[in-house]
Amino acid sequence: MAIAAALAKNLAFWHWYPELLTKGLSPEQLRWQPDGHDSSIVFATWHTYRAADELVHGMVFQRPSVFATGGWDSRLPVADTGASRFGNGMTRAQIAALDLDMGELCAYAKAVGEGISNGLAGMTDEEASAELALPFFAEVYPGYDSMTKLDAVAFFAIGHTAEHLGEVQMLKGLMGLKGAPL
């Protein structure tokens, strides 16, 4: 099975799913932050796709991000992104200030997924199995300071995305809403 085909369904699902999870939510619900938890639905969604975009396109494919090449900076403006371009280290107040259009954010998520799928389609087995150093993981995730490029795509574009969309479901549950459709 070709590399792109092996991950295609998962990439399509995880880059479409925020549409379903956020359908019908008000701007207040999208920005709500529970006591003792800094995140919001809009932040968790923005963060996961910005991270996948920057890390997969930049580190794995060695090309500019969808955000940089697609004019997304004007469509999803975030003045202060914390310690990284995708929101690591943002404060509760910075997260509360995020006021992004959810339709644009969902369109960006799909564009990121398509960009990753296209990148995988052009990747040889040799390129996919090449080791990628992830020194920023050494302290936080011992033993995961390197992985193959294909593992990194699955980790950031599927695993990390599932983690944060689970957070979206948790936030919905804390508001008394149904988290997932099942």
Residue range 63-104, pLDDT digits in tens: 999 999 999 999 999 988 988 888 899 999 999 999 999 999
What pLDDT score does 85 carry?
A: 83
CB atoms < 10 A from the CB of 88, how many? 12
pTM of the model: 0.94
Average pLDDT of the residues in 149-157: 96
CATH tag for 3-174 (out of 1.20.120.450, 3.40.50.360, 3.30.1370.160, 3.40.50.2300): 1.20.120.450
What pLDDT score does 3 carry?
A: 72
* Residue type at 141 in one-letter notation: Y
pLDDT tens digit sequence for 121-136: 989 999 999 999 999 8
CA atoms within 13 A on the CB side of 137: 14
Contact in structure between 32 and 92 (CB atoms under 8 Å): no
pLDDT tens digit sequence for 21-68: 999 999 999 999 999 999 999 999 999 999 999 999 999 999 999 999
What pLDDT score does 1 carry?
A: 52
